[in-house]
Chain A
Amino acid sequence: MKLRVIDSSGERGIPGALNMGIDEALLGSVSRFEAEPTLRFYTWSPACVTVGYFQSLEEEVDLEACRRSGVDAVRRLTGGGAVFHDAELTYSIILPLSHELAPDDILESYRRICSGLVAGLDRLGVEASFEPLNDISVGGKKISGNAQTRRGSCLLQHGTILLDSDPDRMFSLLKVPAEKLKGKLIEDVKSRVTGLRSLLGREVSAAETAASIKEGCAEAWGAELVSGGLSAAEAKAAASFAAERFSSLAWNARR
């Protein structure tokens, strides 16, 4: 099994709308058989809150607080909840549905894809396990959330691997049902979520994490990873999706 790898984890982060635009462009090129199955690693700059496909950005996110803090806000192509993307490595994988990592059974495909992340975390010295449906945890605390969509003949799964978690900042950007609940929610996240830096007790970069995850994926999936980049057509499509979909009110305020 051969996978193209596009790794920008050692470079400056990418704005949220463009990150989501690149993922959608890759979904298009792989589904048209113009590109090989692709594994991508990236980071975000500025920090960004994304919400799930079925969520309302306006109901979930304090958009004014985001503006004041210079944080982007984008609705994803994938379901799930609101995520604050800052100190993390993010990956996406785009596969035809005929691929062995993309069986019909959605839970099983999460399990197979996440096995590469678990093996990569193991290489960093972190004993992680897959937690159905779509999480990876260490010692009972979540370190990675993952979300999948299937469009046409393709699967897109993207997910995070936390380097650090900052629930105080995250909840300053999210709307909570009642202000008095905020303290409890922050404490709850602190007790349920962890990051690589606190687990390893040292500075860990997104690029170092990506290097280990690549090795883990190659081993767990029996894959040959081939370093590559976006084609000119993919880069053009990504910029167009970023501007016309993920920066637009029509998309972000649709639900």
Chain B
Amino acid sequence: MIARKDYKVLGGKLIRVELETDAGIVRRAAVKGDFFAHPEEAFERAEAGLVGLRIDELHSSARRLFGEGPLAIFGATPEDIAFALEGAAREAQGH
């Protein structure tokens, strides 16, 4: 199941999430958008860290993964990203 969710952050940036799930587990996750993240590789590591997570732990794990140093995100918060991912996960579950 592939679900997509666009989430407009207050202030203007757009987070676009693509989530592939199977049996309640994240198989692939892409967090795209017009935000900035430094260093970029740390953001991609956080993104890769979503794979294998259970959907019901996605929100809390995403907040932790995208909130960890040295990653600094401008234009979106880890909470915004977690929220967009949770929205996509709900869609994947057919809610």
Contact = CB atoms under 8 A, between A and B. Distances in A.
Nearest to A132: B74
Interface string A84-118: 00000000000000000000001000000000000
Interface in B9-32: 16, 30-32
Contact of A54 (B6, B31, B39, B72): B31
Contacts, number: 51
Interface string B50-84: 00000000000000000000001011000000000
B72 to A, nearest CB: 7
B38 interface: yes
A149 B38 contact: yes
Interface stretch (A28-36, A74-82, A236-244): A74-82
A80 B16 CA distance: 13
A55 B38 CA distance: 15
Q: Is the interface on chain A under 10, 10 to 19, 20 to 34, or 35 or more residues?
A: 20 to 34
Contact of A55 (B33, B37, B39, B43): B33
Interface residues of B, number: 17
Interface string A131-168: 00110000000000001111100000000000000000
Contacts of B36: 52, 78-80, 133-134, 147-148
A79 B38 CA distance: 9
B37 to A, nearest CB: 6
Given A59-B16, A255-B30, A79 B35 contact: yes
B34 A55 contact: yes
Task: Determine chain B's interface SS by DSSP, over half rule.
Answer: strand
Q: Which of B16, B34, B43, B75 has the most CB of A within 10 A?
A: B34
Interface string A50-66: 00111110010000000
Given A59-B16, A106-B72, A133-B75, A80 B34 contact: yes
A150 B38 CA distance: 7
Contact of A82 (B16, B34, B43): B34
A133 B32 contact: no
Contact of A106 (B6, B40, B74): B74
Contacts of A177: 6
B43 A54 contact: yes
A203 B63 CA distance: 50
Interface in A230-255: 255
Given A79-B37, A133-B75, A149-B40, A55 B32 contact: yes
B33 to A, nearest CB: 6
B47 to A, nearest CB: 9
A184 B82 CA distance: 29
Nearest to A51: B34
Given A54-B37, A79-B34, A147-B36, 12 more contacts: A54-B40, A55-B32, A56-B32, A59-B32, A79-B36, A79-B40, A80-B34, A80-B35, A81-B34, A133-B74, A134-B36, A148-B38
Interface of B: 6, 16, 30-40, 43, 72, 74-75
Q: Closest 4 A-B residue pairs measured CB to CB?
A: A81-B34, A79-B36, A56-B32, A52-B34
5 contacts: A54-B33, A79-B74, A134-B36, A150-B38, A151-B39
